[in-house]
Amino acid sequence: MSVGNSQSLDHQPVNDDCQGSWHQHNPRKGQFTMRILKTITTIGVAGAMALTLAACGGNAGNAGNAGSDGASSGGSIENLKIGISLPQKTSENWVEADGFFNDTCTEQKLDCTLQFANGGVAEQQNQIDAMITSGVKVLIIGAIDGTSLGTQVEKAKDAGISVIAYDRLLLDTEAIDNYVAYDNFQVGVKQGEALLEGLAKIKGDGPYKIELVAGSNDDSNSSRFFNGAMSILQPKIDDGTLVVGSGQTQQSQAATQGWDPKNAQSRMDAILAQNYPGSEVPDGILSPNDTLARAVLTSVEQAGKEQPVVTGQDSEVESLKWIMQGKQYSTISKPTLPLVQNSIALAVKLASGEKDIKELNGIQVDEEQYNNNKKNVPSFLLEPIVATKDNAKDVYKDEPKKLEAVNSVG
């Protein structure tokens, strides 16, 4: 990706216009709606520009300590070396992150190395080791397995490198500065609420039979999603409004190894065969993301059964079409661009020597919610929004690619 380090990229830029300077036309700029938990609900173009200016080092750079290079050199962030380590592209948001990190690093003349660990945990460990050796000043990490990178991040800390957990929290280590993510527990809460709402709207009066699907157990987000959803659904299971037909109510039973849709589909095939004879069908399925939502919907369709109410997450293009067609009930909007831009803005601040950062582009730090088994990790949390057929045009009005998918279904 980056200025001065194109060798390290395993991906071509999604959009070549992003290679230009900040002043060139870039359709991505200002097109997103940024949701900031509890503080600001919407920032328009002006807010987006302020965000980007901050990310460009407009304020952070001035706070720098004098030093040898990168951000520390007279407050300039030019050529700041950042290592960005991401997991496999198990959903569209990771593909988007690739493009947006690429764009942002190029625009801000940062020397970023971005790698996906397509081969798994050992590969991610090796990639991070190499980034440390190459002299990065900041690591931004979206972990495959939140528990597996302790050695790497501790080595990074010893070398004076700042560590930011991106989207997925890093567990069991003190050696992490901050976490930047959409509030994952709230994602789950909203999925649980959407399932109940969809059931009442589409399936009439309860009680309802449902099934539960969870994400990959090694992803630290999966339990947040599941627990958030169960905070809404469990009371309804307890009072008999909801019945889990298979009896598989534990996250361990509902988990989908590697977030692989094949695993979710074959589990649902087995559940249907064993628990839903004849025309019987679950009324609803809790799905933690869009990829798995489409997998379980395909399973039900192939069994020749009526469609259940199914939740999702990520606003994937195909799922937005399915939502508009009435096949999938809901998704969660968590635009990738503000997540990327906030992570880069934070990287610049950390590299400039700022410590104990309390506020990032209007987002107040949350020091309570995200404990990683060693400490409460100071987190900058963005607010997820639920989207259904009813509000999709409004939710995606500032994201042309998503809006196009919404509008493509008549």
In this complex, which beta carbon is closest to ligand BGC, that of residue 132 or of residue 214?
214
Check residue 289 for interaction with ligand BGC (CB under 6 A).
yes
Q: How far apart are CA 17 and CA 29, in angstroms?
A: 11
Chosen residue from 299, 313, 341, 361 binding ligand BGC by CB under 6 A: 313
Quick check: bond before 288 cis, omega within 30?
no
In this complex, which beta carbon is closest to ligand BGC, that of residue 95 or of residue 200?
95
Check residue 98 for interaction with ligand BGC (CB under 6 A).
no
CB 165 → ligand BGC: shortest distance, Å? 11
CB 287 → ligand BGC: shortest distance, Å? 10
How far does the chain reach from its first CA to its final CA, in angstroms? 38
Check residue 85 for interaction with ligand BGC (CB under 6 A).
no
In this complex, which beta carbon is closest to ligand BGC, that of residue 125 or of residue 191?
191
Q: How far apart are CA 173 and CA 245, in angstroms?
A: 39
Chosen residue from 167, 211, 354, 398 binding ligand BGC by CB under 6 A: 167
In this complex, which beta carbon is closest to ligand BGC, that of residue 18 or of residue 143?
143
Structural contact between residues 231 and 188, judged by C-beta atoms closer than 8 angstroms: yes
In this structure, the number of other CB atoms found within 10 A of the CB of residue 65 comes to: 13
Chosen residue from 107, 145, 183, 219 binding ligand BGC by CB under 6 A: 219
Q: How far apart are CA 305 and CA 359, in angstroms?
A: 50
Chosen residue from 221, 315, 328, 330 binding ligand BGC by CB under 6 A: 221
Question: Mind spelling out the 3-state secondary structure of 316-345?
Answer: CHHHHHHHHCCCCCEEEECCHHHHHHHHHH
CB 259 → ligand BGC: shortest distance, Å? 4
- State both tokens at 234: 């469990």
CB 252 → ligand BGC: shortest distance, Å? 18
Check residue 91 for interaction with ligand BGC (CB under 6 A).
yes
- State both tokens at 10: 């395993």
Chosen residue from 28, 35, 168, 209 binding ligand BGC by CB under 6 A: 168
Check residue 93 for interaction with ligand BGC (CB under 6 A).
yes
CB 384 → ligand BGC: shortest distance, Å? 9
CB 101 → ligand BGC: shortest distance, Å? 15
Burial class of residue 154 (count of CB atoms within 10 Å of its CB; 0-12, 13-18, 19+): middle
Query: Residues 141-160: x/- map of binding to ligand BGC (CB under 6 A)?
Result: --------------------
Check residue 90 for interaction with ligand BGC (CB under 6 A).
yes
In this complex, which beta carbon is closest to ligand BGC, that of residue 185 or of residue 208?
185
Chosen residue from 145, 314, 354, 398 binding ligand BGC by CB under 6 A: 314
Angle of the 317-324 helix axis to the 290-302 helix axis, nearest 10: 50
Looking only at residues 248 through 267 of this chain, which bind ligand BGC when binding is defined by CB under 6 A?
259
Structural contact between residues 257 and 266, judged by C-beta atoms closer than 8 angstroms: no
In this structure, the number of other CB atoms found within 10 A of the CB of residue 75 comes to: 16
In this complex, which beta carbon is closest to ligand BGC, that of residue 8 or of residue 221?
221
> Among candidates 106, 107, 104, 129, which has minimal Cα distance to 115?
129
In this complex, which beta carbon is closest to ligand BGC, that of residue 289 or of residue 352?
289
CB 339 → ligand BGC: shortest distance, Å? 10
Distances (CA, A) of 356 to 142, 179, 346, 378, 383: 22, 13, 11, 8, 22
Distances (CA, A) of 192 to 37, 179, 226, 238: 19, 24, 9, 15
Structural contact between residues 114 and 99, judged by C-beta atoms closer than 8 angstroms: no
In this structure, the number of other CB atoms found within 10 A of the CB of residue 312 comes to: 30
How many chain residues touch ligand BGC (CB under 6 A)? 12
In this complex, which beta carbon is closest to ligand BGC, that of residue 168 or of residue 236?
168
Check residue 183 for interaction with ligand BGC (CB under 6 A).
no
Residues binding ligand BGC (CB under 6 A): 90-91, 93, 167-168, 215, 219, 221, 259, 289, 313-314
